Amino acid sequence: MGKKGIAGFFAEKFPFFRASGVIVLVAFALSILFMRWVINDRMTGFLPDEPSPRSYFALYPMNFVDEDGTSVLRSRVGETVAGVLVRDGSAVELLISKIESMAKGDTSSLSISQGLSDLLKALPEEARQKILRESALLANEFLKNSGTETALTGVTSEAVWKEIEKLSLPMEENNIIFQILDEVLQPLTRVDEELTRSLRDDLAESLKPLERSVSPGDLLVEKGQMVTPQVARILKLQGYSQVTFPWKQILFALFALPFWPLWIRLQSGFRPSSPDRTPWIYISFVVGLSWVVEYFSSLFNVQGMGSLFLAGCAYLTLPSLLAFQVVLGGSILGAIVVTGLSALHVVLVALMGLISAIAGFGLLSDVNSRSHFWRQLFQLGLLQGAVSLLIRWAFELGIYPQLLMYLVIGTAAWSTVVIAVLPLLENSFDVLSPLRLMEMSHPSNPLLKKLQIEAPGTYHHALMLGTLAESVADKLGMNSNLLKAGAYFHDIGKLKRPQFFVENQMGNANIHDELKPSLSALIIIAHIREGLELAEEYHLPQKIREFIKEHHGTTCLSYFYRKAKSMGLEIPRDQFCYPGPRPRSRETGLLMLVDSVEAAVRAEMRASTSIPDLQKTIEGVVETKMSEGQLDDVDFTLKDLALIKQTLLTAFQSMYHTRKVKEIQEKDKEQLLQKLKKQEEESIEGSLASR
Ligand SMILES: [Fe+2]
Ligand SMILES: [Fe+2]
Per-residue confidence band for 378, with pLDDT thresholds at 50, 70 and 90: very high
Separation between Cα atoms, residue 66 and residue 230, nearest integer Å: 8
The per-residue pLDDT for range 437-474, each reduced to its tens digit, is 988 999 999 999 999 999 999 999 999 999 999 999 98
Tell how far the Cα of 650 is from the centroid of ligand 1, in angstroms: 23
Confidence at 525, pLDDT banded by 50, 70, 90: very high
> What is the whole-number distance in angstroms between the Cα of residue 489 and the centre of ligand 2?
9
Mention every residue, 6+ apart, whose C-beta is less than 8 A from residue 305: 293, 294, 297, 381, 410, 411, 414
| Four-way CATH pick for 437-663: 1.10.3210, 1.10.287, 3.40.50, 2.102.10 | 1.10.3210
CA of 527 to the centre of ligand 1 (A): 7
Residue type present at position 483? L
Residue 681 has pLDDT above 60, yes or no: no
Per-residue pLDDT, 686: 37
DSSP letter assigned to residue 304: T
| Chain centroid to CA 293 | 12
Ligand 1 geometric centre to CA of 648 (Å): 19
490 Cα–ligand 2 center, Å: 6
Contact by Cβ (8 Å): 632, 553: no
- Going by their DSSP bridges, the two strands 189-192 and 84-87 should be labelled as antiparallel
- What is the enclosing helix (H) or strand (E) of 64? strand 62-66
Point out which residues pair with 56 in neighbouring strands.
221
Reported confidence tier of residue 268, pLDDT bands at 50, 70, 90: low
Looking at residue 687, its pLDDT comes to 37
C-alpha of residue 490 to centroid of ligand 1, in Å: 6
3-state secondary structure 356-417: HHHHHHHHHCCCCCHHHHHHHHHHHHHHHHHHHHHHHHHCCCCCCHHHHHHHHHHHHHHHHH
Cα–Cα dist 593/645, whole Å: 9
Q: What is the pLDDT of residues 565-600, one digit of tens each?
A: 888 888 888 889 999 899 999 999 999 999 999 988
501 alpha carbon – ligand 1 mean position (Å): 10
Is the pLDDT score of 414 beyond 70?
yes
Q: Which amino acid is at 447?
A: L
Q: Per-residue pLDDT tens for 202-225?
A: 887 777 887 888 887 788 888 888
> Is there a contact between 584 and 557 (Cβ–Cβ < 8 Å)?
no
pLDDT reported for residue 150: 44
How far is CA 640 from each of CA 441, 473, 646, rounded to the nearest angstrom? 26, 10, 10
User: Cβ contacts of residue 387 below 8 Å, gap of 6+?
Assistant: 351, 352, 355
Task: Note the ligand closest to the C-alpha atom of 526.
Answer: 1
Q: Are 583 and 589 within 8 A, CB to CB?
A: yes
Could you say which ligand is closest to the alpha carbon of residue 591? 2
324: left (phi over 0), alpha (psi -120 to 50) or beta: alpha
Residues 6+ apart with CB under 8 A from 555: 577, 578, 625, 628, 630
Sequence spans of domains, the chain: 12-45+244-429, 51-61+215-240, 89-187, 437-663
Q: Which residues lie near ion ligand 1 (Cβ < 5 Å)?
A: 491
| pLDDT, tens only, 631-658 | 999 989 999 999 999 999 998 888 776 6
Report the separation in Å between the CA atom of 318 and the middle of ligand 1, taken as the mean of its atom positions. 28
Length of the chain: 691
pLDDT value for 669: 63
The string over 650-666, giving b where at least 16 C-beta atoms fall within 10 Å of a residue's C-beta and e elsewhere, is ebbeeebeeeeeeeeee
pLDDT of residue 217: 76
DSSP string spanning 445-477?
SHHHHHHHHH-HHHHHHHHHHHHHHHHHHHHHT
Top-confidence residue, 286 or 263: 286
Q: Which residues pair with 64 in a beta bridge?
A: 212
Cis check: omega of the bond before 581, within 30 degrees of 0: yes
C-alpha of residue 485 to centroid of ligand 2, in Å: 13
Distance 13 CA to ligand 1 centre (A): 36
User: Which of 40, 42, 26 has its CA nearest to residue 339?
Assistant: 40
* Ligand having the closest approach to the CA of 463: 2
Expressed in angstroms and rounded, the spacing between residue 596 Cα and the centre of ligand 1 is 9
Q: Which residues contact 391 (CB under 8 A, 6 or more apart)?
A: 348, 351, 397
DSSP 323-341: HHHHHHHHHHHHHHHHHTT
DSSP 62: E
Ligand nearest, relative to CA of residue 487? 2
CA of 644 to the centre of ligand 2 (A): 17
Where residue 269 falls among pLDDT bands split at 50, 70, 90?
low
CA 616, CA 360: separation in Å to the nearest integer?
44
